[in-house]
A = this chain, B = another copy of it.
Amino acid sequence: MPYFDAASSVPLHPVARQALAASLDEGWADPSRLHREGRRARLLLDAARETAAEAVGCRPDELVFTPSGTGALHRGIAGALAGRRRVGRRLAVSAVEHSAVLHAASAHREEGGSVTEVPVDRRGRVSAAAYEEALTEETALACLQSANHETGTVQPVAEIAGLCAEAGVPLLVDAAQSLAWDRPGGGWSLLAGSAHKWGGPPGVGLLAVRKGVRFAAPPPADEREQGRSPGFENIPAIVAAAASLRAVRADADAVAARLRPLIERVRAEVPRAVPDVEVVGDPVHRLPHVVTFSCLYVDGEALLHALDRAGFSVSSGSSCTSSTLTPSHVLLAMGVLSEGNIRLSLPPTPEESVEADVERFLQVLPEAVREVREQLNAPAVPRERAAGYDAAVQDAAVQDAAVQDEGTNHHAARYEEQRTVPAEGARELTVDALGTLCPMPVIELARNFDDVPVGGVITVLADDEAARVDIPAWCEMRGQEYLGAQGTRYRVRRLS
């Protein structure tokens, strides 16, 4: 059963399991106590710190362990901002940072600070020019991920670190996605990571703060971990985390060399096998194990379930798969299609069968997408784009399938009433998709599109936030003109 969701979490590395079992016997005591059990725990903790610091590329006394990567980011950001409060209260973050960073930024804003979000290009990368603008005299801290968790896009950290150094602004690097692969490049001031991403146990994050970086740990005070991370140290898990980081890193180049071509193949093959797919993320600057694509007219949750039934565990940034029903902020910031979004991320300790599993995924995917589209009564794919895709089946299904699903599928629920029938030859048409969820607004747009003549304008009323990226993305994919949005009104001119 292939697990392709490594960017969320990976199973425990065998080395971590061994280290955990061994240190449960030795590392349960309070390392601040003077008795032998305490001293033994302290020794284990010190050794783990050495190992982790070596992997991160810092001094042991610059590194503390936290209960999670999120904890490391929250405390790292709060501590660095507080340490430079006299300089200013501006925080710079890229628009595609992990939600833990963006939530810390929101908290900072609520407390009266200001936040500059640096935009990314369509491939999810920040540019040096854009980041430089965010570095003002009042900027207390800049944050940048080493690589994006949803798209695998690798950020130009060294370049941005150079700009930050010139501007005298400390740079916090969220290295959660890349620590398994390599030691982060120099130039950072603070760095955060999360053990369960590299095969360590959950419950361990790390925060490194370079000597000389001003840092004032957020209250309440606590004497553990240099006062930077409160609570009793989770030593067995810390020992396991450090051991597995070293083990994973030792194999990283070989594993990357094995996974990179698999990801290349997915990037190339998915658009050939499935019509109307957008592969997102940077094709060159990317992690070796992650690929993400979005499928037009596809409900991400339905596709996830179809793939799950076929034995594949993947994740999705589609709005319908999130508890908030908003699409991934990463896809939004990139301006790429968010519907039918699927991320494959291969574990850094891949199964022997990973090549075969990826091939099987490529075989299963087209049918899974086709089924979901059929359920949603999605418009036929233009024949010229439908390589290897049975458009005839699709056409036949269009006539009567939609209403049939009404009871069970919230996406199609309002189908019958959502169309304003145009007068003969009218050059304007309004389609009401209010209350429907992604991908229905785009499906409605496509379904009614032929009813306006070339040069005419179709307006889609939609309140699902995904429409904000998905309607422009559809225009881009179909070569039609996106005229923009006003509130919930999205306007498109038919060009062909």
Contact = CB atoms under 8 A, between A and B. Distances in A.
Contacts of A36: 1, 308, 313
A203 B29 contact: no
B3 A37 contact: yes
A129 interface: no
Contacts of A305: 34
Contact of A67 (B104, B203, B223, B301): B203
Contact of A231 (B25, B32, B67): B67
Nearest to A78: B220
A69 to B, nearest CB: 7
Interface stretch (A232-240, A404-412, A433-441): A232-240
Interface range for A? 35 or more
Given A104-B220, A232-B69, A12 B28 contact: yes
Contact of A315 (B17, B33, B224, B232): B33
Nearest to A71: B231
Interface string A110-130: 110000000000000000000
A230 interface: yes
A275 interface: no
B17 A33 contact: no
Contacts of A221: 103, 106-107
B67 A222 contact: no
Contacts of A21: 21
A481 interface: no
A394 interface: no
Given A17-B24, A104-B220, A35 B313 contact: yes
B230 A35 contact: no
Nearest to A315: B33
A399 interface: no
A491 interface: no
Contacts of A313: 29, 33, 35-38
Contacts of A24: 12, 17, 20, 201
Nearest to A17: B24
A220 B9 contact: no
Given A67-B71, A232-B9, A34 B308 contact: yes
B17 A5 contact: no
Interface in A233-275: 233-237
Contact of A69 (B11, B231, B301): B231
Nearest to A111: B219
Contact of A237 (B71, B230, B237): B237
Contact of A5 (B11, B33, B106, B107): B33
A202 B234 contact: yes
A68 B67 contact: yes
Nearest to A323: B223
Interface string A34-46: 1111100000000
Contacts of A146: none
B230 A74 contact: yes
A338 interface: no
A363 interface: no
A304 interface: yes
B230 A100 contact: yes
Most buried by B among A5, A28, A67: A67
A42 to B, nearest CB: 13
Contacts of A201: 24, 28, 234, 236-237
A301 B21 CA distance: 32
Contact of A9 (B5, B25, B28, B106): B28
A106 to B, nearest CB: 7
Nearest to A196: B232
Most buried by B among A33, A304, A315: A33
Most buried by B among A34, A100, A224: A34
Contacts of A28: 9-12, 196, 201-202
B203 A70 contact: no
A12 B236 CA distance: 11
Given A8-B30, A106-B219, 15 more contacts: A5-B37, A9-B28, A9-B232, A32-B323, A35-B314, A36-B308, A67-B68, A67-B234, A71-B230, A100-B220, A100-B230, A110-B219, A111-B219, A201-B236, A202-B236
28 contacts: A1-B36, A3-B37, A5-B29, A5-B33, A8-B33, A8-B38, A9-B28, A9-B29, A9-B30, A17-B24, A28-B202, A33-B313, A33-B315, A35-B304, A36-B313, A67-B203, A67-B231, A68-B230, A69-B231, A69-B232, A99-B223, A100-B222, A103-B219, A103-B222, A201-B234, A202-B232, A202-B237, A205-B231
